[in-house]
Amino acid sequence: MDHQIAKPGSIDRMFRFSAEALPQWKRGKMFREYVHNRIVNLDSCPLGREDNDLEGVGMILPDLGAVSVRMPPIRVARTRETMRDGNDNLRLVMLLRAASSAPADHLGRELTVEPGSAVVLSNCDLNAITFTASQSRMISLNLARKTLRPLLRDFDAVLAHTIPKQIAPLGLLAAYIEAFLGEPAQPTPEFAQLAVSHIYDLAALAMGATRDAAEIAKNRGLAAARLRAIKSDIAANLSRDHLSVVDIALRQRVTPRYVQLLFESEGTTFTEYVRNARLNRAHRMLMDPRLADRSIGAIAFDAGFSDLSYFNKAFRRRFGGTPSDVRTAGNART
């Protein structure tokens, strides 16, 4: 097992693989080789001629392998031959989006993985999952058995069972993985270690965590995932003049006070975070030569400010110069 997942301390072995950077005709073969050689050996059988229609990204972290991929119809199996590698990890397969369900079989059970749900498969046993729809989007996590087992109330009960999409930590886990894999820069060793802890926290909550593990996860992985989701919500709605903590809390299904507490844990407030995010967006727009014909007032409005006088004052406090100064400096660089 350990030879297929980066060991704690072996941060130098972490790397990201992106199929998007490859010519389309190479994508299917190269991505499967990456997964098979670096994470877990699987038998893959494309169900049509669309094998090259694949986009995905993968990363190896200490005690964790992760891939997020959009793929054509394909059957992926753990066979007697592939099991010879000795990998005894668990695979948490999340079907994020698909036009149809994905049938799976494991431990003599026939399962149906609906879009938005997940299934837990053991690499020690024969199993298979078939993605029947084109453009299926899935995340697969290769989780170390020795790390996951102590976190679960009933380890054996999670095998060959589906996790419904209504389980909130499952959705937060998927969003966390997507955001993490989407980061352009290689994570620092410290951040990678923290991310692995968060991912195991959320996976345990989705599968059924022990009381102690759930309490730790509540203040660690769950809080981090919710804060990340809240920040994504803010970014998507930043241009709205009225962006309140109540609105965010309602969409995220938490209380306004909980939102405030999450930001306070980072030494800021919801209001300060939104204001700084808007100022940063305005700063980027002012530095963009493609927007040189946009008025400062229009940029302030697009960033979510309705009061131009307040915007000018807040901008100067944050950046030490007026919006006009920043725009002039940006134009001088081009």
| Domain CATH number, residue 328 | 1.10.10.60
Q: What is the pTM (predicted TM-score) of this model?
A: 0.84
Residue 217 phi/psi, 5° resolution?
-65, -35
pLDDT at 1: 32
Please check the confidence at residue 8 and state whether its pLDDT lies above 80. Answer: no
Which of 28-37, 284-293, 325-334 has maximum average pLDDT? 284-293
Report, as an integer, the average pLDDT of 78-93: 94
Please check the confidence at residue 158 and state whether its pLDDT lies above 70. Answer: yes
Spatial separation of the C-alpha atoms in residues 231 and 147, rounded to whole Å = 29
Q: What percent of the chain has pLDDT over 70?
A: 93
The type of residue at 231 is K
Check: CB of residue 89 under 8 Å from CB of residue 144.
yes
Please check the confidence at residue 149 and state whether its pLDDT lies above 80. Answer: yes
Please check the confidence at residue 246 and state whether its pLDDT lies above 60. Answer: yes
| Pair 17, 126 in one domain | yes
pLDDT at 49: 67
Distance of CA 132 to the CA centre of its chain: 23
| Structural domains in the chain (count) | 2
Spatial separation of the C-alpha atoms in residues 65 and 144, rounded to whole Å = 9
Better pLDDT: 19 or 143: 143
pLDDT at 51: 60
Each residue of 183-239: pLDDT tens digit? 877 778 888 899 999 999 999 999 999 999 999 999 999 999 999 999 999 999 998
Is 67 domain-assigned? yes
| Pair 152, 274 in one domain | no
Please check the confidence at residue 21 and state whether its pLDDT lies above 90. Answer: no
Is 226 domain-assigned? no
Is 179 domain-assigned? no
CATH number of domain containing 149: 2.60.120.10
Check: CB of residue 167 under 8 Å from CB of residue 96.
no
| Pair 157, 266 in one domain | no
Report, as an integer, the average pLDDT of 280-309: 93
Is 173 domain-assigned? no
| Pair 139, 243 in one domain | no
Is 194 domain-assigned? no
Is 143 domain-assigned? yes
Q: What percent of the chain has pLDDT over 90?
A: 69
Please check the confidence at residue 35 and state whether its pLDDT lies above 80. Answer: yes
pLDDT at 14: 59
Report, as an integer, the average pLDDT of 85-109: 95
Could you tell me the pLDDT band of residue 314, with boundaries at 50, 70 and 90? very high
Q: Which of 158, 160, 161 is nearest to 107 (CA)?
A: 160
Residue 119 phi/psi, 5° resolution?
-140, 145
Could you tell me the pLDDT band of residue 334, with boundaries at 50, 70 and 90? low
Pairing verdict, β 55-61 and 136-143: unpaired
3-state secondary structure of 261: helix
Could you tell me the pLDDT band of residue 89, with boundaries at 50, 70 and 90? very high
| Pair 126, 33 in one domain | yes
Is 216 domain-assigned? no
| Pair 13, 155 in one domain | yes
State which of 161, 194, 220 marks the end of a domain: 161
Calculate ∠ Cα 126-128-130, nearest 5°: 175
Q: Strands of 35-108 (E only): list them.
A: 43-46, 55-61, 64-71, 74-78, 90-97, 102-106
Report, as an integer, the average pLDDT of 122-137: 94
State which of 111, 128, 161 marks the end of a domain: 161
Check: CB of residue 191 under 8 Å from CB of residue 247.
no
Q: What is the mean pLDDT of the chain?
A: 89
| Pair 50, 141 in one domain | yes
**Structural domain of residue 115, as residue ranges?**
2-161
Please check the confidence at residue 94 and state whether its pLDDT lies above 70. Answer: yes
Spatial separation of the C-alpha atoms in residues 201 and 217, rounded to whole Å = 5
State which of 161, 190, 207 marks the end of a domain: 161
pLDDT at 274: 96
Report, as an integer, the average pLDDT of 260-276: 95
Strand-pairing partners, residue 138, are 69, 95
The length of the chain, given as a count of residues = 334
Check: CB of residue 126 under 8 Å from CB of residue 79.
yes
Please check the confidence at residue 2 and state whether its pLDDT lies above 50. Answer: no
Is 206 domain-assigned? no
